[in-house]
Structure 1
Amino acid sequence: MQQLSGQDASFVYLETPHTPMHIGSVGIYDPATAPGGFVRFKDILSFVESRLAGARSFRQRLVRVPFDLDHPYWIEDPEFDIEFHVRHIALPKPGDWRQLCIQVARLHARPMDLTKPLWEFTIVEGLDNVEGLPPGCFALVSKVHHAAIDGMSGVEMSAAVHDLDASMTPPTANDDWAPEHMPKVADLLARSYFNSLVQPMRVMETIGRSLPGIARLGTQVGKGDVSIRNARPAPKTRFNGKVSGHRVWDALPFKLADIRAIKDAVPGATVNDVVLSIVGGALRAYLQGKDELPKDTMTAMAPISVRAEGEKAALGNLVSAMVVGLGTQIEDPLERLRFVHDEAVNSKAMTHAVGAKTLADYSQLMPSGLAGLAARLYTRVGAANAHAPVFNCVVTNVPGSRVPMYFAGARMVGMYGTGPVFDGMGLINPVYSYGDTIAISFTCDRAMMPDPEAYAAALSASFEKMKAAAVKPSAAPPVEENDNPPAAKVRARSKGAA
């Protein structure tokens, strides 16, 4: 048995029928590279089963302590059944992108069974009318509970079911997995009692580790090296209230080379800064279209991994976070990028001053029973509608493979992300990179965003405006006073000036 950390357990406590707390991905695959040029569902089932030893999350289930007196435990599931976790559906004709988006949103909106290992794979066939995809492609829609993985450990889980070629070479390591017996209630209560005895020491230890960082932050603020402006509350928007049980989803891929070219237009800017600026421009346009754009900048929470090199395969979440202004009050794309870059630099400095790892450790101090009760009451009374949000949305960047990946012999041609929304935060933008592309996806409450195609169009337009602004126009050759350039050239220059 392995106990969940306070941070991992918080995702269990936050789970309600309207706020399932799982993350996931949508991979698109071309079966032309598989043996025989096609992939059968039973082949996928066998393939996944052969890779279960690659990640512990596949066969571990939760055991909750009675009355949530202590954080839950992971045990090796004595009733594990691969066919419960790997499923198979098909889109009706014509099988276009919009149909896939609707199906992904429906799958993502359904809570997972917390008495089973917390993951699901759904194979979606019938992608026959998606622009840019080869015929016969299928999608793998994955769901994994946030209590089990964060973005970085999710990459490790994904690696377990992907190969670097289409040969489907079986793993060489032996699978020595063995199920465990369900623990007795008396044993769980005894463990919770002893854990409560050492909790005061954990509190003192965490506070002691944080004091030097807090002093360091105070010194940097006093010198003017760090600003506390990021501590301001976020403006209230349509995305910051109580959520429903319905979701929308979409994703847009961009060329990584274009993102880097935009980055180079502002000294010091990063790829993450560009992505945040694109999201800021899209939110500005989307809310302007509804006459709801706030005067102050909207903000995004950006998770920061504090996972050490030796912890890459560890279960659960090892993350802290920073809050960054998105520059939604700024129309000029490059000015917005400069604003976002400055905000990100300042927010990182604040986080590093205290210590991202120390901030993450504070979640360990959360009383389990009180946390669960508070989460349920917060949802039941609709408290998210009554206070200013801490941030408006989430933008989380998950690095992917730069080389082609294969699932059951089929080559991956696209990778996108899904994420949880909850009361007070109804919009998340997962960012996945793969090969030479970087994709901005979004999951949102359907009541808050009834027109996801409008936000998708705003993301595309925001990117195009930033790309155009980043390209410096070449100097036109001087035209002599008596020159009479051809009419075609005159028209071309007129279009360029417009």
Structure 2
Amino acid sequence: MEQLTEVDNTFVQMESNRTPMHITPVIFYDQSMAPGGNVRFKDILEVFRCNLHKSKIFRRKLTGGTLGFDTPYWIEDADFDLEFHVRHIALPHPGDWRQLCILMARLHARGLDMRRPLWEAYVIEGLNEVEGLPANSFAIMLKIHHAAIDGVSGAEIISAIHSPEPDTPLPTPDDDWQGEAPPPLREVWTNAYINNLKRPVRLITTVSELIPNVRKANRLSEERGSEEHEVSRQKTRFNARVSSHRVTDTLVMELPRIKKIRQCVPGTTINDVIVTVVSGAMRKYLDARGELPEHSLSCAAPINVRQERNSESKGNQVGVMTIDMATDIEDPVQRLQAVYHNSLNSKETSQVVGTGVMMDVTRSLWPQFANITIRAATLAADRDSLPMPIHTVISNVPGPQAPLYLAGARVHMLMGLGPLVDMSGLFHAVISGMGLISINFLSCREMMPDPDFYKQCLVESYDELEQATFLKEKPRARRKKKA
């Protein structure tokens, strides 16, 4: 039995029919190398069955609520049923990319059963007409609740069901596993009483450490002065209450070409290039509707604060950095340069304040108070008079570059979908792997009724940036001297 952390508990409390709080990696496979060139569903079930012991996430569920006075507990589910969690479906006719996007959006919009282990896997067949995929491909869409993983620790599940070679034998299933009974109510409430005695002391310590850091950050901002780029706090169409309907699509790029783009501006990172592509797309999309703010939009970029020596620590280990996206700059190279400098400033500020400051504050609050605060902040932000700190989320998770296999089928491409919440109705999940990098956007259907157009904006933004950096890099031809 293990108690849920306060940070992870916020994701449980934010769960609703409109805002399911799961992360969804989508993995595409080429089964031409599998025995007989075909992977059967029972083979995939066996892979999961033989690897359940590699991650606690697979078989544990939540229990032991205390009406918000403390966080619930993870216990091993004595009624665990693998075939409930691993499901087999086929892509509806006509089986093309658009139909796949519709299917992924619908599956992602459905919440998980919070009474069971918080994950589901959909094995999707019928992808023969999907452009860009090898013939006879299939996909696995893996939904995992954010309370169970963050973007980085999610690699644990992905690595658990894959092997580095196509013919690696399956491990022996763990026959010693046993389910657990829910903890006695007396124990749950006793722990809640003790934990709530500790929280005020923890809060005082956290605030006392935070105040001088905030002062340092303010001085740093004052020193930058006019160098600071003016950021819009105006709401966009994506800063509103989300519905239960989702739309999604993906831009897939070659990783070496992204690396070539960043070489144009010394010091830039792959993430800077991605932010520049997204900012160009949002600029185009909003400008086409006459909704582009005069000043720049900003994005929230989750960052990993999981220390190497503590990589197996409990719960989510993630902070958030806010980046000015320079959407008020039309020239793509100049925008990339601005994003690079803005990212450096944001990193410097985050290091001064502390990248895990929100985690520390959340751990110090009573769960019931934290839940009320989150709901109150969301309702307050819905008022037009209040400023908007972010306009989208861009989550960049590096994936595996070395080949991976499942039941002999080779991983061809990875994608992903993130959660939407009120006031944040546009999410960009960026995943790299197998020499490719994808920008997978997710939005509310009412906010983005035309995902095809936003996909076009992403494509045009990327093409313009690549072309501009190519022209900047290309040396001028020398003129021949006259005889």
Structure 2: state its 5+ residue gaps.
none
1:126 aligns with 2:143: no
Instruction: Pick closer, same or farther for the CA change 1:385–1:228 going to 2, 3 Å.
Output: farther
Contact 1:227 1:346 in 2 (8 A): no
| Cross-structure match for 1:278 | 277
Q: Report SS of the residue matched to 1:132.
A: coil
| Cross-structure match for 1:492 | none
| Cross-structure match for 2:75 | 75
Rounded to whole Å, the distance in 2 between the matches of 1:415 and 1:400 is 8
- Counterpart residue identity of residue 165, structure 1: E
| Cross-structure match for 1:325 | 324
1:384 aligns with 2:382: yes
Rounded to whole Å, the distance in 1 between the matches of 2:36 and 2:209 is 59
Q: Displacement of 1:221 after TM fit?
A: 4.3
1:93 aligns with 2:114: no
Rounded to whole Å, the distance in 2 between the matches of 1:477 and 1:215 is 55
- Counterpart residue identity of residue 187, structure 1: E
Contact 2:381 2:388 in 1 (8 A): no
Rounded to whole Å, the distance in 2 between the matches of 1:358 and 1:332 is 35
Rounded to whole Å, the distance in 1 between the matches of 2:332 and 2:268 is 13
Contact 1:152 1:312 in 2 (8 A): no
Instruction: Pick closer, same or farther for the CA change 1:347–1:206 going to 2, 3 Å.
Output: same
- Counterpart residue identity of residue 148, structure 1: A
Rounded to whole Å, the distance in 1 between the matches of 2:228 and 2:476 is 40
TM-score relative to the length of structure 1: 0.91
Once superposed, what is the RMSD of the aligned Cα atoms?
2.3
Contact 2:52 2:173 in 1 (8 A): no
Superposed counterparts of 1:79-478, under 5 Å: 79-171=79-171, 176-211=176-211, 213-214=213-214, 216-218=216-218, 220-221=220-221, 224=223, 234-375=233-374, 384=382, 386=384, 387-471=386-470, 472-478=473-479
Rounded to whole Å, the distance in 1 between the matches of 2:371 and 2:214 is 29
Contact 1:302 1:395 in 2 (8 A): yes
- Counterpart residue identity of residue 477, structure 2: A
Q: Report SS of the residue matched to 1:237.
A: coil
Q: Report SS of the residue matched to 1:89.
A: strand
Rounded to whole Å, the distance in 1 between the matches of 2:198 and 2:439 is 44
Deviations 1:415-460 (A, max 9, x none): 0010000100001101000021111111111111111111111111
Rounded to whole Å, the distance in 1 between the matches of 2:35 and 2:402 is 20
Contact 2:412 2:434 in 1 (8 A): no
Rounded to whole Å, the distance in 2 between the matches of 1:298 and 1:358 is 23
Moved more, 472-481 or 43-52: 472-481
- Counterpart residue identity of residue 103, structure 2: Q
Moved more, 308-317 or 274-283: 308-317
Moved more, 54-63 or 165-174: 165-174
Rounded to whole Å, the distance in 2 between the matches of 1:234 and 1:78 is 49
Rounded to whole Å, the distance in 2 between the matches of 1:161 and 1:421 is 27
Rounded to whole Å, the distance in 2 between the matches of 1:346 and 1:328 is 17
Instruction: Pick closer, same or farther for the CA change 1:363–1:219 going to 2, 3 Å.
Output: same
| Cross-structure match for 1:30 | 30
Rounded to whole Å, the distance in 2 between the matches of 1:310 and 1:36 is 43
Rounded to whole Å, the distance in 1 between the matches of 2:28 and 2:212 is 48
Contact 2:203 2:364 in 1 (8 A): yes
Q: Displacement of 1:163 after TM fit?
A: 1.0
Rounded to whole Å, the distance in 2 between the matches of 1:117 and 1:347 is 37
Deviations 1:451-470 (A, max 9, x none): 11111111111111111111
Structure 1: state its 5+ residue gaps.
483-498
Contact 1:55 1:157 in 2 (8 A): yes
Contact 1:230 1:323 in 2 (8 A): no
Rounded to whole Å, the distance in 2 between the matches of 1:416 and 1:74 is 28
Q: Displacement of 1:204 after TM fit?
A: 2.4
Contact 1:233 1:391 in 2 (8 A): no
Instruction: Pick closer, same or farther for the CA change 1:393–1:50 going to 2, 3 Å.
Output: same
Contact 2:235 2:387 in 1 (8 A): yes
Deviations 1:225-256 (A, max 9, x none): 69995896632100000000000111111111
Contact 2:232 2:294 in 1 (8 A): no
Rounded to whole Å, the distance in 2 between the matches of 1:401 and 1:117 is 26
| Cross-structure match for 1:2 | 2
- Counterpart residue identity of residue 453, structure 2: A
Q: Displacement of 1:298 after TM fit?
A: 0.8
Rounded to whole Å, the distance in 2 between the matches of 1:242 and 1:230 is 28
Q: Report SS of the residue matched to 1:462.
A: helix
Q: Report SS of the residue matched to 1:57.
A: helix
Superposed counterparts of 1:52-67, under 5 Å: 52-67=52-67
Instruction: Pick closer, same or farther for the CA change 1:315–1:226 going to 2, 3 Å.
Output: farther
Instruction: Pick closer, same or farther for the CA change 1:454–1:126 going to 2, 3 Å.
Output: same
Rounded to whole Å, the distance in 2 between the matches of 1:228 and 1:363 is 33
Rounded to whole Å, the distance in 2 between the matches of 1:243 and 1:359 is 24
Q: Displacement of 1:214 after TM fit?
A: 3.6
Rounded to whole Å, the distance in 2 between the matches of 1:195 and 1:243 is 34
Contact 1:2 1:75 in 2 (8 A): yes
- Counterpart residue identity of residue 382, structure 2: A
Contact 2:232 2:296 in 1 (8 A): no
Q: Displacement of 1:283 after TM fit?
A: 0.5
Q: Report SS of the residue matched to 1:153.
A: coil
- Counterpart residue identity of residue 66, structure 2: P
Contact 2:231 2:296 in 1 (8 A): no
Moved more, 384-393 or 186-195: 384-393
